[in-house]
Chains A and B, each alone.
Chain A
């Protein structure tokens, strides 16, 4: 099981309490995790990455095992700790703002 942690506003939007657990088939990458997340929660489509370009929204970052993976290829394999659920895939909103 893949564990995903979302910012509070997106948890509210998708009516999620706590972490999300996802089954991901095939290689575990940013893209495959986000595909599975959006399939489970369609209301998140467009809120994390652009509908058409699939680019990460500017004020969001992806953290993996305490490292910023935001600028890595979305198809790069993620560490085993993510694939086996030992560590969560973190989607983090920029702190600055009102």
Chain B
């Protein structure tokens, strides 16, 4: 064999290798979850779901020949760490998109970094002001707490229970909810007659509830995440307060029913549909993906898939769809994300647009009631 043939063969072989090498370039997605620390009930299912769906996508051959690579960091729920780790993801790991963080506080801290470095960020936290006002590179998959509040107020307006007492936890989630409860009251003809707070680690809310009882409101709305609301439910039972109690979507989990025990009966709250996937009508567009998610999560992690995990699942799928549409750089992914229409995810049906980076409408929530230690949908 002469040198010429050899070198052409070599050239062709090299080209083939580099072609495959080029096609196999993984798309690096960064993730910031509060896996440990006070927000672990958010971060752990989020990380689990993200991992689960990325593994599945890769097993099925990736997206358009690209494998997806997930780089996850634990922020422990600390905003400072979230900022540091966001920088790390962008500068060291060179990710083209970031999923998370898990809490509103962390997200607000990370937003300037994402905007400056021009990397799309899909947050899994509830705060309305993450995408309101709209920021070019920031999206979210968790339902806005404004939608949750709207759901409750709509029901109250319909049933003519228009004076409410609110009891919110003094952390980012509760503060955001409290803000929304006060802002939207007038729109639905609701008057907030009593406004109290409690600390995330408080163990006795009888003082606040005694005060609320004295205000004689039609309904009590409690905004927080476990264990506070369970204590409040139990305190109410102890004090013999019969006023209808509403909770936030922060406790739409079996854990809350377990903690509150009998005191949970009759409590109503807006919930992501995943929690009641099995009792949804067959006509519901999301039912199929919800059931698949729940079954999948159960198989992988032997635990109930909840809507927190769903936020991460949605975020990964949205990026996947963007890559499917040909995007593989940060800017292209961002553009494709903005064009998302009618994606039936876990949190709801997503429709992004240049003016709306939250993407969900009222159908993201159903009003549920706890009956016999299980959920029923309220008509």
A, B assembled together: no
**Residues of A that sit less than 8 Å from B by CB:** none
